[in-house]
């Protein structure tokens, strides 16, 4: 379980996040909802040690202090940021293989699973040639191939069509069936958030 307790984040005199707590089990999901500027990304950045704040994070019964993204990845916690993590001059295949090297994995890339199926015919295409939605799919897949225990996705629906969002929801079910805890951020109007196990509204 990831357990965030009494989190507050302040930028100067502006209190962005005021004493919130939440927890997410493996094999479950949660969406953090809020309008632009509500602090959704700030929560994720705090968890990954990119902004300062007060509070505690406990991962699988271990209290984590001042973590870095690299340290969290070692224990199975991965973030896919809103701006993505794609290397444009590499092919789709090379981007996925690079992500796998971060966890010393050499498993074959799936052919018929969710977003993998959508991009499989583009494996040898340069990432810069992808559409915005395809680039977003690739970013998400780069997180998935790292085989996280907990996967954080910041605004994963940005740039995705309704059909792609439907495929994402199918991918989400696959991840949960593999005992991955998934935490995402989103706007109020771009997803049926009632489909999620937990909803945190900012």
CA distance 143 to 146: 6
| CATH class in words for 27-38+66-201 | alpha beta
Q: pTM for this structure?
A: 0.93
The 3-state secondary structure of 135-171, one letter per residue: HHHHHHHHHHCCCCCEEEECCCCCCCCHHHHHHHHHH
pLDDT for the residue numbered 191: 60
Give 86-102 pLDDT, tens digit per residue: 999 999 999 999 999 99
pLDDT at 70 over 90: no
pLDDT for the residue numbered 25: 97
132-144 and 162-177 are packed helices; what angle lies between their axes, rounded to 10 degrees?
0
Q: Phi and psi dihedrals of 124, rounded to 5?
A: -100, 10
- 23 is written with which tokens? 């927890």
Question: Number of C-alpha atoms within 13 angstroms, CB side, residue 167?
Answer: 19
pLDDT for the residue numbered 37: 86
CA distance 166 to 172: 10
């Amino acid at each position: 379980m990831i357990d965030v307790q009494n989190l507050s984040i302040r930028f100067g005199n502006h209190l962005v996040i005021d004493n919130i707590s939440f927890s997410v089990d493996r094999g479950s999901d949660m969406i953090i909802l809020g309008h632009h500027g509500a602090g959704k990304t700030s929560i994720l950045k705090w968890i990954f040690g990119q902004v300062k704040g007060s509070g505690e994070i406990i991962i699988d019964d271990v209290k984590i202090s001042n973590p870095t993204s690299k340290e969290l990845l070692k224990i199975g916690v991965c973030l896919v940021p809103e701006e993505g993590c794609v290397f444009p001059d590499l092919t789709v295949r090379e981007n996925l293989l690079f992500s796998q090297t971060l966890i010393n994995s050499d498993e074959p890339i799936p052919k018929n699973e969710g977003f993998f199926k959508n991009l499989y015919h583009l494996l040898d295409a340069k990432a810069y040639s992808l559409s915005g939605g395809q680039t977003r799919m690739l970013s998400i897949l780069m997180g998935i191939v790292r085989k996280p225990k907990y996967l954080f996705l910041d605004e994963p629906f940005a740039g995705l069509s309704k059909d792609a969002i439907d495929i994402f929801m199918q991918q989400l079910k696959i991840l949960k069936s593999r005992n991955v805890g998934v935490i995402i951020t989103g706007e109020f109007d771009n997803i049926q958030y009632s489909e999620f196990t937990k909803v945190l509204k900012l």
